Amino acid sequence: MFDWVHISLPPAQALFGQLLIGLINGSFYAILSLGLAIIFGLLNIINFTHGAQYMLGAFCAWFLLNVLGIGYWPALILAPIAVGITGIVIEQLFLKRIAGLDHLYGLLLTFGLALIIEGLFREQYGSSGQPYVIPPELQGVRNIGFMFLPYYRAWVIVASLGVCLATWFVIEKTRLGAYLRAATENPVLVQTFGINVPRLVTLTYGGGVALAALAGVLAAPIYQVRPQMGSDIIVVVFAVVVIGGMGSILGAIVSGFALGLIEGMTKVFYPEASNTVIFVIMALVLLVKPAGLFGRAA
């Protein structure tokens, strides 16, 4: 009865290549779950729109290149800013109104927004995907012995590590980050200190959204720029955030990379299960350590 559970063993050399690829996928998980963790930590909103905002980042990069002729490198800055602004608009128009309500409503509202955004783009662009060329400076491969590593993919790992570390630094080690963390714990008190908490909240949401868009720009050259790219990935990113601990920055980063690696390994040994293994891990983590690997105990 269980003959459909088949596991195959590859040569050791191929394993290193798979690990590297897992790391690359993990980079996307890390940036996306980082944004989600920040938004949840400060706003207590479960931002289901995150996937759609990731897609918006990719489409923005495509638009910049194919319509305005603006290349990849400026797009890395412009797209997150543009999408971040739409995030701020969303926060002002919608999220402010449900602050203080049960979290369920935030989830459903952002889920609804995600459906609207994805639906509109699908209506406009169809689903075959738009091509986005790898920037010429990063084209080409390098033979590193056990595999051919495309330069662009190496750049993805470097860029995402950089972004994650920079974000972690800002939140943990700078004064702005201190304000953010204080505002999570006791917004009223922080407000009395003269810090504009609502504006901080708004900017934080915009920042989290900008991170998602940045991931989108990074993804554009290697995944298809499709309206569904957000919904394909969002459920997995949620699982990553839960595993890491819902408000924990470090948890999101570490889990993102780690789960990318685990998923990569599963693709080698039992590829059909590679979409499901993250959920199995999530269930296990939730049963054993419900606040996540790095979260504070509930």
Partner 1 sequence: MTRRLGAAATFAAAVMLLGTAHAQIAKDTIKIGVLADMSSLYADLGGPGSVEAAKMAVEDFGGSVGGKKIEVVSGDHQNKPDVGASIARQWFDQNGVDMITDLTTSSVALAVQEVAREKNKVILITGAASSDLTGKACAPTSVHWMYDTVALANGTGAAVVKAGGDTWFFITADYAFGHALERDSSEVVQANGGKVLGSVKVPLNTADFSSFLLQAQSSKAKIIGLANAGGDTINSIKQAAEFGIVAGGQKLAGLLVFVTDVHSLGLNTARGLQLTEGFYWDQDDQTRTWSKKFFDRMKKEPTMVQAGVYSAVTHYLNAIKSANSIDGPAVIKQLKSGPINDFAVRSGKIQDDGSLVHDMYLFEVKKPEESKGEWDLYKQISTIPGAQAFKRPKGNECPAVKG
Partner 2 sequence: MQQTVVTRVWAAGLLALAILAPFFLYPVFVMNALCMALFACAFNLLLGYVGLLSFGHAAYLGTAAYVTAHAAKVWGLPPEAAIPAGVAVAAGLGLVFGWLAIRRQGIYFAMITLAFAQMVYFIALQAPFTGGENGIQGVPRGRLFGLLDLGDGLTMYYFVLAMFLVGFAIIMRTINSPFGQVLKAIRENEPRAVSLGYRADRYKLLAFVLSAALSGLAGSLKALVFQFAAISDVYWTASGEVVLMTLVGGLGTVLGPVVGAFILVTMQTYLSQTGSWVTIIEGIIFVVCVLTFRRGIVGVLAPYLTGRRASAEPLPEPPPAVEGHAQGLIEPAELR
Q: Per rule CB under 8 A, is residue 92 in the interface with partner 2?
A: no
3-state DSSP assignment of residue 276: coil
Q: Per rule CB under 8 A, is residue 176 in the interface with partner 2?
A: no
268 binds, among partner 1, partner 2, none (CB under 5 to 8 A by kind): partner 1
Q: Per rule CB under 8 A, is residue 199 in the interface with partner 2?
A: no
> From the CB of 282, what's the least distance to partner 1, in Å?
17
61 contacts 216 by C-beta, under 8 angstroms: yes
> From the CB of 80, what's the least distance to partner 2, in Å?
21
- Cα dist. 255→38, 96, 101, 249, 290 in Å? 15, 30, 29, 10, 15
Q: Per rule CB under 8 A, is residue 263 in the interface with partner 2?
A: no
> Got the DSSP string for 13-48?
HHHHHHHHHHHHHHHHHHHHHHHHHHHHHHH----T
DSSP for residue 145? S
Tell me the one-letter amino acid at 53.
Q
Instruction: Please give the Cα distance from 241 to 37 (Å, whole number).
Output: 7
Question: From the list 7, 272, 284, 290, which residue makes contact with partner 1 (rule: CB under 8 A)?
Answer: 272
Instruction: Please give the Cα distance from 236 to 275 (Å, whole number).
Output: 8
Instruction: Please give the Cα distance from 277 to 267 (Å, whole number).
Output: 10
HSE-CB of 32 using CA atoms within 13 angstroms: 37
Q: Per rule CB under 8 A, is residue 194 in the interface with partner 2?
A: no
Q: Per rule CB under 8 A, is residue 145 in the interface with partner 1?
A: no
Residues of this chain, 221-250, that bind partner 1 according to CB under 8 A:
222-224, 226, 228-229, 232-233
Instruction: Please give the Cα distance from 45 to 72 (Å, whole number).
Output: 31
173 binds, among partner 2, partner 1, none (CB under 5 to 8 A by kind): none
Residues of this chain, 18-47, that bind partner 2 according to CB under 8 A:
38, 40-42, 44, 46
Residues of this chain, 33-92, that bind partner 1 according to CB under 8 A:
none
19-27, 30-38, 55-63, 199-207 -> range binding partner 1 (CB under 8 A): 19-27
Q: Which positions touch partner 1 (CB under 8 A)?
A: 10-11, 13-14, 17-18, 21-22, 24-25, 122-123, 126-131, 133-134, 141, 147-148, 150, 152-153, 222-224, 226, 228-229, 232-233, 264, 267-268, 271-275
